[in-house]
Chains A and B, each alone.
Chain A
Amino acid sequence: MNITKTVDAKGFACPMPIVKTKKAIDTIQSGEVLEVLVTDKGALNDFAAWAKTGGHTILEQKEEADVLTFYIQKA
């Protein structure tokens, strides 16, 4: 997977992970992939909902040592 940009939102509480991700996705092109690292547990549902709203695709997500990582392909 080709990652265009990474957002490190570890330690940030809602709504900052989504706000940071929104700002980052505005800077990449359609089809490119954003990697997002968060520790906010609410992100699990929030990112699914956010991606659905924007038409973006979550290609993969994983959880390692309390860090959630999402790979989001821009619509």
Chain B
Amino acid sequence: MANKVAIIASNGGLFDAYKVFNIATAAAASDKEVAIFFTFEGLNLIHKQGMHDLPMPAGKEHFAEGFTKAQVPSIPQLVEMAQELGVTFIACQMTMDVMGLTKEDFVSGIEVGGAVTFLEYAKDASPTLTF
């Protein structure tokens, strides 16, 4: 059985962040090796400032109350938890160049790489997930 999970995070909303980090932390807590490739809007999820204020989808703002009521952890908490559990964060170099971002704009401990870096990791991962 493959013991690697590969995740592509390509969207930058709050719901996207929960989808990515819930699966990632759950997998890491189940003794899986986990890497997330953050590309395009997905880079928001590990952006030092951006991750604190991720947007809800338009018209879905009323779910904010539900998140509080269900005591769902915040995204920065999940990011920290994921890193504690050994999840590897790979930021897409090309997108960073396009958006004028540097490694310092992101949470510490990330790797920067290209598509091939991710593909090499993901070649024997199961499952590979895209959000």
Residues of A within 8 A of B (CB): 11-16, 18-19, 21-23, 46, 50, 53-54
Contacts and interface: CB of A to CB of B under 8 A. Distances in A.
B73 interface: yes
Interface string B71-85: 111000000010001
Interface of B: 22, 25-26, 28-31, 70-73, 81, 85
B31 A53 contact: yes
Contact of A14 (B26, B31, B81): B26
Contacts, number: 36
Contacts of B85: 19, 22
A12 B71 CA distance: 6
A14 B31 CA distance: 17
Question: Which of A16, A18, A23, A54 has the most chain B CB atoms inside 10 A of its CB?
Answer: A16
Contact of B22 (A12, A14, A50): A14
Contacts of A19: 25-26, 29, 81, 85
Contacts of B25: 15, 18-19
Contact of A13 (B29, B31, B71): B71
B71 A15 contact: no
15 contacts: A11-B71, A12-B71, A13-B73, A14-B26, A15-B25, A15-B26, A15-B29, A16-B73, A19-B25, A19-B29, A19-B81, A22-B30, A23-B29, A53-B31, A54-B31
